[in-house]
Amino acid sequence: MTSAGSPQPLAAMDSAPAVIARIDEPVIVHRPDRQRTPLLVASPHSGRTYPPDLIAQAALPLNALRRSEDAYVDLLIDEAPLAGITTILAPFPRVFIDPNRSTRELDSALFSDLEQTRAGETPHVQAGLGVVPRISADGRPLYSARLSVAEGRRRIATYYRPYHGAIDVELKAACDVFGLGILIDVHSMPAAAAGGVDIVLGDRHGTSCNPLIMSRLETAFRDAGLSVRRNRPYAGGYTTAFYGKPAQNRHAIQIEINRGLYLDEESVTRSGTFPATRTILTNVLTGLANSDWSEIRI
């Protein structure tokens, strides 16, 4: 678990508030007592431990920084290990470093001593949402001054790489035991962007996982009473693309959950429907964990 020396609660109304604290452990891995499934579940954007140096550098107050979180997704999936599923969580906030981006996506508009290369000129970088974001979820500048490239590379080395290292280790372990690994990357989407849909499943338009995985997830959520759409407006990000290699028995799929199902987006606190949504996620993941996935092994 993350060590959060002298945390300062910032939302007393919520029993799991954000804190300003040093992050001593850059990734949290919860393993089941017995690994019973090739499924792994990751949450890269629900971290709410804000390093003091980030707060000192930020141009926005903490409540504005928090709008970029996939807030409390880690708690929606926290019973997955009871079903035999390993969970991998990033405790650091997305505005600090975004593990769902390539390390090449450094933004020359943010870093004072970086010469932009063509490789870094991705749509994410151009939008200010590189591996170290320049803008917040609502489009405001995150920093009052530009950062050094050394600072960006420090964040990559200290936080980003351990998080991805944990995913790699757990996928290899699943492949060793079951002959395949299935990574489910869980996110949340603003209700305004969801278009009235509860769940968006992304498999990079059929390239990051076996079709059976998409089909089973879609059926499970529909059977739970939720509406589901495939790949629109979210088809999966860097994590889905990087780890989704079906020809190597590695599969990855992204889940986007409508925040209106569980969150008060204005205050970034859990709403009264959080317990029901958590139960749905737990039941869906438990059902998937109990499925036979051997038929998709090559």
> 183 lies in a domain?
yes
Tokens representing residue 277 in the block: 């949504």
pLDDT band, very low/low/confident/very high, at 7 (cuts 50, 70, 90)? very low
C-alpha–C-alpha distance, residues 203 and 229, integer Å? 11
> d(Cα 96, Cα 72) in Å, to the nearest integer?
17
| 81 contacts 32 by C-beta, under 8 angstroms | yes
- List Cβ<8 Å contacts ≥24 apart for 260-263: 260/191, 260/194, 261/198, 261/226, 262/72, 262/76, 263/71, 263/72, 263/188
Instruction: State the alpha helices, DSSP H only, in the chain.
Output: 52-57, 62-65, 73-76, 123-126, 149-155, 161-178, 191-194, 211-223, 238-243, 274-289
Split at pLDDT 50, 70, 90, the class of 6 is very low
- Structure confidence by residue, pLDDT tens digits, 252-289: 999 999 999 999 999 999 999 999 999 999 999 999 99
Which structural domain, as residue segments, surrounds residue 217? 19-100+162-296
Average pLDDT score, the chain: 94
pLDDT of residue 115: 76
Q: Does residue 154 sit within a domain?
A: no
pLDDT at 9: 44
- When pLDDT is averaged across residues 138-142 and rounded to a whole number, the result is 96
Q: What's the structural domain count of the chain?
A: 1
* CATH number of the domain residue 277 falls in: 3.40.630.40
- Say if 11 falls within a structural domain: no
- Pairing of the two strands 250-258 and 199-202: antiparallel
In a domain, 147, yes or no: no
pLDDT at 116: 63
Is 144 a member of any domain? no
pLDDT of residue 120: 61
DSSP state for residue 282 in the 8-state scheme: H
264 occurs within a structural domain: yes
pLDDT the model gives residue 119: 53
178 has pLDDT over 90: yes
In the beta sheet, which residues pair with residue 189?
258
CA distance 179 to 218: 24
Q: How confident is the model at residue 8 (pLDDT cuts 50, 70, 90)?
A: very low
Q: Is 116 helix (H, G, I), strand (E, B) or coil?
A: coil
Does residue 59 sit within a domain? yes
In the predicted structure, residue 56 carries a pLDDT above the cut 80 = yes
For residues 262 and 278, give the distance between their C-alpha atoms in angstroms, rounded to a whole number.
8
pLDDT per residue as tens digits for the range 74-104: 999 999 999 999 999 999 999 999 999 999 9
pLDDT at residue 291 above 60?
Answer: yes
231 CB neighbour count, 10 Å cutoff: 16
Query: Is residue 155 one of the residues assigned to a domain?
Result: no
pLDDT greater than 70 at residue 50: yes
> Band of the pLDDT at 114, cuts 50, 70, 90?
confident
pTM of this structure: 0.94
